[in-house]
Amino acid sequence: MGVYETLFIVNPELNDAEVENVVQRLQEVVTRSGGQVHRTENWGRKKLAYEVKKHRKGIYVLMYLSGSGKTVAELERHYRMMDPVLRYLTVKLEKLPDFQPPEAEAAPREAEAAPREAEAQPAQTEAGLSSGDADQPAASEAETTATEAS
């Protein structure tokens, strides 16, 4: 049994309920033919690089599944028969990627952002700006000596 990643583009004129219906039908095809769907991600509406079947945008959906070659063949046969599916691509993977829950994926990103913000603070004070007058530009050296001379 192989592990596969399949990405398909759905007609952008469909509403969310219709897109979900298409995804569910394709998941049922996988399970009926002896496969298993591990994860499905709806990436949303994105601009296409070129026009496909008279559409400039499409709804991208990524699905990870495991099954035999017959499972993939049946899935791709349904892709070709379904009018809402504009394009598809299926790739065989070495192993299934490690998935983290959505909360766990967001936490490392927030943890990485905090040190970057802290690093940005000293850069402003080194440039001659104090925390109180960050909105105002620092006085140039010529202006400072001119004020001292008068």
Interval 79-88: pLDDT, tens = 999 999 999 9
Confidence of residue 148 (pLDDT cuts 50, 70, 90): low
Q: Give the global pTM.
A: 0.65
Assess whether pLDDT exceeds 70 at residue 61.
Answer: yes
Q: What is the distance, to the nearest Å, from the Cα of residue 18 to the centroid of all Cα atoms in its chain?
A: 21
Span 74-118, pLDDT tens digits: 999 999 999 999 999 999 998 888 877 666 555 555 666 666 665
From 46, 47, 65, 82, select the one nearest 2 (Cα to Cα): 65
> Rounded to the nearest 5 degrees, what angle is found at the Cα of 82, between the Cα atoms of 77 and 88?
65
- For 53, the token pair is 């079947």
Q: Which residue has the tokens 């559409």?
A: 55
The pLDDT of 113-136, averaged and rounded, is 54
pLDDT, residue 26, reads: 94
Mean pLDDT of the chain: 80
- Please report the pLDDT score of residue 98 as a whole number: 81
Residue 127 has pLDDT above 80, yes or no: no
Average pLDDT over residues 31-52: 92
Closest CA relative to residue 3, chosen from 54, 58, 68, 53: 68
**Per-residue confidence (pLDDT) for residue 119, from 0 to 100:** 60
Q: Measured between alpha carbons, how far apart are the two ends of the chain, in Å?
A: 85
Per-residue confidence (pLDDT) for residue 97, from 0 to 100: 82
CB 37: neighbour CB atoms within 10 A?
18
User: How high is the pLDDT of residue 31?
Assistant: 94
